[in-house]
Amino acid sequence: MHNYEPFEADRAAEIIAKHQAREGATLPILHDMQETFGHIPDAAVVMIAEALNLSRAEVHGTVTFYHDFRKEVPGRRVLKICRAESCQAAGGDAIADRMEKRLGVELGGTTTDRRVTVEAVYCLGLCHSSPTAMLDEKVYALLDEEKADALCAEAER
Amino acid sequence: MSTRIFISRDAGALALGAEDIARKIADTAEEKGLDIEIVRPGSRGMFWLEPLVEVERPEGRIGYGPVQLDDVDGLFDANFLEGGDHKLNLGLTEEIPFFKNQTRLTFARVGIVDPRSIEDYKATRGYEGLRKAIDMGPEEIVEAVTKSGLRGRGGAGFPTGIKWRTVNQASAPQKYIVCNADEGDSGTFADRMLMEGDPFMLIEGMTIAGIAVGATKGYIYIRSEYPHAIEAMNAAILKAREEGTLGDNILGSPYSYDMEVRVGAGAYVCGEETSLLDSLEGKRGEVRAKPPLPAHIGLFGKPTVINNVLSLGAVPHILADGAEYYQEFGEGKSRGTLPIQLAGNVKFGGVYETAFGVTLGELVNEIGGGTRSGRPVRAVQVGGPLGAYFPPTLFDTPFGYEDFAAKDGLIGHGGVVVFDDTVDMAKMARFAMEFCAVESCGKCTPCRIGSSRGMELMDKIVANEDRAANLIVLEDLCNTMKFGSLCALGGFTPYPVMSALTHFPEDFGADPSRLEAAE
Ligand SMILES: Cc1cc2nc3c(=O)[nH]c(=O)nc-3n(C[C@H](O)[C@H](O)[C@H](O)COP(=O)(O)O)c2cc1C
Ligand code: SF4
Ligand code: FES
């Protein structure tokens, strides 16, 4: 579970300064920003562009290209359900459906109480034990109905 | 003396509950006043046995698995610390046929050593390859890697030695080594396991590459879905620096090399080498036109070796034991070993490192034990989302680059995903198009627009709208994508689509004789 900080320019400047001297600093800065603020605010894009001597459009283009970077703060917990081939082969469709229903939210959405954001992920590299999911950074494999229900309960806690 | 117990820290083992088992065993031993030491290696790669608990005995490590929380008390009652009898007792882990029958060159240490311990690494022939490389010098290293017959394990199978020679011969003030750890293919996890289970070896492989081509700086680009691998590599890099195996004057030699981890951001296409380089530079991960090759104009415009984890991971062994030894394994132009990954609806899921030449049927039915569901195998996708679907009638195909190409397939990164007879192949074909549409970098039309068109067509075909005509349009579209795309995302998506249609026409409502008639 993450406790994100509200966006603050000083804090953002600190993050930028930490990585600025690295080659290809954009992605490390964006990751750090997202870990801190839960998303990439437009104000941060402007600051990054200035600091790295890039155009705003360029940084914006980078942010929007990658599935990882968010426009909004996610729910308290993020549940990623694997929807790739190996997990489909091992009954993952039914498991994903079940979790969506239980949590009352579709893949890509956040529960109304903002407890859980549920997303599809395309392979977690755990396909030896499909179907799989990841709750924040904790991984789960060989999901069956019982384990899927327990995982949903854990996510909602 | 305390008894040593091994419980994996591999993400796969953790996903099956290894952390809870380790904690419970530690707590129980403490309550009982038993002196144990718990070591956390990578995984042996037999995931149907994870969480696997191994106890060190004079005769070797005795395995128990898969251990669930309520088995732990029973294990203590059965005196497992002395290898006692229990329903989960597997005997000596290394005698389990799945493990014993492998040829573990790249995975030799994985599941055995503590990946956080550089001492363990050194005690198990670590840095032997690097020491030899330092004595040999750049030209001889390149020669050895060329002679070994090693081909890129990332998918394209390009000879590694030739790539290194090009960068070696380029003159530039700065060159780079980039390790491609984006491992986005469904059904693959060998890169992840190697990074988590033997990170020092990958660092050693990259260092040898640096010496071979004159690069002093390296990056390993790891996908963000792999937090455990990121942690393992970061920890190992810090230790290697302390130890003087990274940094200036490595092991007292004139060579210097250092490296760092960079984290991807959830784009499948960033596994494509030029897209990955743009991503490392902080840009959108768009594919670059080739030429120029990365070997000439790569990261930040400098000559760059970009190789997969398994390619670089094979190098320390090749240097330590010699190119001849490595190239003796395999068949035809596929030399050495490949850590094959068994996934999907398979009974014995895991990594199986073996020489090229093993047949697909042996892998799926014998080594993999068939489906986990117990139903008949209907299809197998080899080589990730861009790989072809093979029916059991093609199970005599040997695992090799050319053998698979001859059957309109590819081995890619060595992932084998098994499907039972409940699979709907039209749905899988649609998924291939959908995946391409979602992940397309957008640079070329056949891929960006074609994949969306492909999804619509599949929907119509499934709904039986003008089926015969739309099947012909689908084939045309696949041809356009195949020949008009800049990279293999758009170019190879036709493989899963067309193989599904060719081998399983009944799922598309097509007359099985239709394709034969068209030929
Ligand atoms: C869409 C796409 C995705 C790819 N993903 C990966 C990947 O995840 N890992 C990888 O090593 N190679 C991947 N490749 C292949 C790389 O472009 C490149 O061939 C490879 O990194 C070269 O290293 P090697 O010669 O050691 O295989 C991908 C290629 C394409 C077209
Ligand atoms: S084929 Fe697709 S992913 Fe590859 S360059 Fe073209 S648009 Fe980008
Ligand atoms: S396909 Fe789901 S973990 Fe790989």
List the domain boundaries for chain A: 9-65, 77-156
What 3-state class would DSSP assign to B101?
A: coil
A62–B423 C-beta distance less than 8 A: no
Domain span holding position B346: 330-420
Interface test with A, best of B8, B20, B186, B423 (most A CBs within 10 A): B186
Q: Residue B464: inside a domain, yes or no? A: yes
Which of A65, A80, A127 minimises the CB distance to B284? A65
- Ligand closest to B441 (CA) is 2
B388 with B507, same domain?
no
- C-alpha closest to that of A127 among A98, A85, A96: A85
Residue where one domain finishes, among candidates B420, B436, B469 = B420
- B305 and B156 together in one domain: yes
Which residues of chain B neighbour A28 with C-beta distances below 8 Å? 262-263
Taking an 8 Å cut-off on Cβ atoms, the answer to whether B265 and A61 are in contact is no
Show the ligand 2 pocket: residues with CB < 6 angstroms: B 269, 287, 440-444, 447-448, 485-487, 489-491
Pair (B11, B81) in one structural domain: yes
| Domain CATH code at residue B15 | 3.40.30.10
**Whether the predicted pLDDT of A15 surpasses 80:** yes
Cβ distance B11 to A31 less than 8 Å, yes or no, reads no
Beta-carbon separation of B267 and A86 below 8 A? no
B183 and B294, same domain (yes or no): yes
Q: What is the pLDDT of residue A1?
A: 66
CATH class for domain A77-156?
alpha beta
The rounded distance, in Å, linking the Cα atoms of A68 and A70 is 6
Ligand 3, CB within 6 Å, residue ranges: A 82, 84-87, 123-127, 130, 132; B 186
* Mean pLDDT, residues A43-68: 97
What's the domain count of chain B? 4
Structure tokens belonging to residue B60: 């070797």
Cis peptide before B292 (omega within 30 of 0): yes
Same domain, B310 and B230: yes
A91 CB neighbours in chain B (<8 A) are: 345, 373
| Type of residue at A56 | R
Beta strands in B2-145 (DSSP E): 3-7, 36-39, 53-57, 60-64, 89-92
Which residues in B lie closer than 8 A to residue A123 (C-beta atoms)? 184-188, 225
Closest by CA position to B108, among listed B362, B321, B257: B321
- Give the strands of the sheet with A133-135, arranged side by side: A116-121, A77-82, A133-135, A138-140
Q: Please, which residues have CB within 8 angstroms of residue B434's CB and are 6 or more apart in sequence?
A: B451, B455
Q: Specify the DSSP element, H or E, that contains B179.
A: strand B176-181
Which residues on A lie below 8 Å from B47 (Cβ)?
128-129, 141
Q: Could you tell me if residue B456 is inside a domain? A: yes
What's the CATH number where B180 sits?
3.40.50.11540
The string of DSSP codes covering B215-229 is --EEEEEE-TT-HHH
Is B105 contained in some domain? no
Q: Which atom of ligand 2 is nearest to the CA of B441?
A: 8
Q: Are residues B178 and B141 in the same domain?
A: yes
Please report the pLDDT score of residue B511 as a whole number: 66
Q: List the B415-420 sheet strands across, edge first.
A: B350-355, B337-344, B415-420, B377-382, B389-390
As a whole number, the mean pLDDT across chain A is 97
Statement to judge: residues B268 and B378 lie in one domain: no
Rounded to the nearest 5 percent, the helix, strand and coil shares of chain A are 50, 10, 40
Distance from CA of A25 to the nearest CA of B (A): 6
Is A139 close to B189, i.e. CB distance below 8 A? Answer: no
B186: Cβ–Cβ under 8 A, 6 or more apart, which residues?
A84, A85, A86, A87, A122, A123, A127, B343, B384, B385, B415, B417
Phi-psi region of B114 (alpha: psi -120 to 50; beta: other; left: phi over 0): beta
Which amino acid makes up residue A133?
A
| Residue of chain A whose alpha carbon sits nearest to that of B345 | A90
Q: What angle do CA A116, A135, A88 make, to 5 degrees?
A: 100
Query: Does residue A90 surpass a pLDDT of 70?
Result: yes
Summarize the annotated binding site of A for [2Fe-2S] cluster as residue ranges: 82, 87, 123, 127
The closest residue, in CA terms, to atom 1 on ligand 2 is: B490
3-state helix vs strand vs coil in chain B, percent to 5: 50, 15, 35
Residue B393 lies in a domain: yes
Q: Is the whole-model pTM more than 0.95?
A: yes
DSSP designation for B370: S
Query: Both B219 and B285 in a single domain?
Result: yes
Cβ of residue B485 lying under 6 Å from some atom of ligand 1: no
CB contact under 8 Å between B344 and A89, yes or no, is: yes
**Nearest chain A residue to B182, by CA:** A125
Q: Are the C-beta atoms of A100 and A118 separated by less than 8 Å?
A: yes
Tokens of B417: 């995903």
Compute the distance from residue B44 Cα to the ligand 3 centre, in Å. Answer: 19
Q: What is the 8-class DSSP label of residue B364?
A: I
Do B307 and B345 share a domain, yes or no? no
**In which residue ranges of chain B is pLDDT below 50?**
514-519
CA triple B21-B24-B28, angle to 5 deg: 140
Atom of ligand 2 nearest to the CA of B269: 3
